[in-house]
Structure 1
Amino acid sequence: MSSSLTYQAEPELDPKDFQKLLIASTLGERRPVEDLERLEKMLVNADLILTARKDGELIGIARSISDHCYSTYLSDLAVHSDYQKLGIGKMLVKLTKAAFPLANLILLSAPKAVAYYPKIGMKKHEHCYLSVPEDPIY
């Protein structure tokens, strides 16, 4: 029996499937996986949700927010640990870029993935700043 790998846009992705994948990919270490309501809002407010499925099972996701013409923020790129290093993440990044061809693609790397992005052709930007919710702005 052959296995099937498919990529598709899934704007109605089930938050429970998203939660399971985040945990299985280790991205769950930095996402609010215990808060299903928040995960649902993350999905509902995304401009683009691309998925990879193998035999129907969710094994990859690229979730982005975009103005469609200048900048696209790839806020989540996750591939199930059992399927990493097979080109699935790279294909999800390519499909994200193709969806908004005029936009710059921007992301914040997970610590474990810092070495990955240069390998697929992305450039490190040294002028990025971050303010987490508990940080005050003076």
Structure 2
Amino acid sequence: MNIEYRIDKEVSVEQFLNLLESSTLAERRPVEDRECLQGMLKNSNLTVSAWDGDRLVGIARSVTDFHYACYLSDLAVDKRYQGMGVGRNLQVLTQEQLGPKCKLILIAAPAANSYYEHLGFQNNERCWVLDRDRSISG
């Protein structure tokens, strides 16, 4: 199997949806909302993808300023390709697109904490999330 990695190659909503469903990420993404998925793809300004022929098998989708912070919004690898270094390679290639002082930031699924730790990520307990259905209190 020959995995090809591509920077900012267009990914269709259908390809993205299929990958989310063939990884564990569909459980935590709005897979029932195609318009939202389209917006997620369209408004990412750094996407690194992994391909086995024409099949999307991995994606690292980020929003970044390329100099200070890069938020890795999605890291998904098809279950059949997990354990083969695809996720690690997607992160390395993402980091290579960033400036020398740019931090790579992500929110890990609970089961993935040890994965990121062994790659050298540091756990930061200061992350906060405000869901859209809640208002900012004043």
TM-score, scaled relative to structure 2? 0.93
Q: Which residue of 1 aligns with 2:94?
A: 96
Q: Which residue of 2 aligns with 1:52?
A: 50
Q: Which amino acid is 2:11 matched to? A: L
Counterpart secondary structure, 1:114: helix
1:11 touches 1:43 (CA, 8 Å); kept in 2?
A: no
- Supply the RMSD in Å over aligned alpha carbons: 1.1
Within a 5 Å distance, the mapping from 1:7-46 to structure 2 comes to 7-46=5-44
1:27 touches 1:78 (CA, 8 Å); kept in 2?
A: yes
* Residue ranges of structure 2 left out of the alignment (5+ in a row): none
Within a 5 Å distance, the mapping from 1:107-118 to structure 2 comes to 107-118=106-117
Q: Which amino acid is 1:134 matched to? A: D
Counterpart secondary structure, 1:115: helix
Q: Which amino acid is 1:76 matched to? A: D
| Large movers: runs of 4+ above 4 Å | none
Q: Which residue of 2 aligns with 1:105?
A: 104
Q: Percentage identity across aligned positions?
A: 41
2:9 touches 2:49 (CA, 8 Å); kept in 1?
A: no
Distance 1:75 1:11 in 2: 17
* Residue ranges of structure 1 left out of the alignment (5+ in a row): none
Q: Which residue of 2 aligns with 1:125?
A: 124
